[in-house]
Amino acid sequence: METGNDGMIETRAGHWDNVYTTKADDSVSWFEPSPSFSLELIDAAGIGLGAVIDIGGGASRLVDALVAKGHARVAVLDLSAQALEIAKARLGARADAVEWIVGDVTEWMPTSRYDLWHDRAAFHFLTAPDDQAAYAKVLHSALNPGGVAIIGTFAPDGPEKCSGLPVARHDADSIGRIIGPGFTLTDERRHDHTTPGGALQKFQFSSFRKAG
């Protein structure tokens, strides 16, 4: 998929809006009832209760946990307005404490910075080098010096598609080459995710600290 093309971005958003309109959020393959693995990685990042943004967070339960923990600022960015509405409805009054951003991460222009960037299964949908480079540029501008980026993708031996779309499978080295030398790898872990349908998906999570 190319960036800089309004029609393509609309197609991306339309795909995910359709998913969240036609399927229950707890039936999609990436659903997890508790984001315990992500929370473990966030705790390991050592940012305390700093500002966090969840990229491609959709209707994930991670935002609930971050708000409950009392992080200074919590933001969720997703292509799908429908997915974010599901999360807002679930949070109720607590949704007012969250910055909700409907947009394509490759086109987004951050107006503030965060201490932690969390991405579980958004980056791997960017299969074109231009999109990957745009993602890296936004990551650099959105993350504070000394901040941590946690990027989870399908592992090299993971699925080749998700939600009918092709993905780019990664390990820590391939992600590091894309985001550039301004980041140092601090953690890498394999993770097996079991879908609601019982299938096993092999993930790779890599944590990088931005130079101070």
Q: The domain spanning residue 91 has which CATH number?
A: 3.40.50.150
- Domain housing 53: 6-23+33-210
Identify the bridge partners of residue 148 per DSSP, sorted by sequence position: 116, 209
Strands 161-162, 165-166: pairing is antiparallel
Q: What angle do the packed helices 172-179 and 129-142 form, to 10 degrees?
A: 70
Q: Judge whether 174 lies within some domain.
A: yes
Mean pLDDT per 10-residue section of the chain, whose length is 212 residues: 42 77 78 94 98 97 98 97 96 98 97 97 97 98 98 97 93 98 97 94 98 92
CA separation for the pair 187, 127 (Å, rounded): 24
Q: Judge whether 79 lies within some domain.
A: yes
pTM of the full predicted structure?
A: 0.91
The whole-number pLDDT of residue 164 equals 87
- What is the number of structural domains in the chain? 1
CA separation for the pair 55, 78 (Å, rounded): 6
Q: Judge whether 28 lies within some domain.
A: no
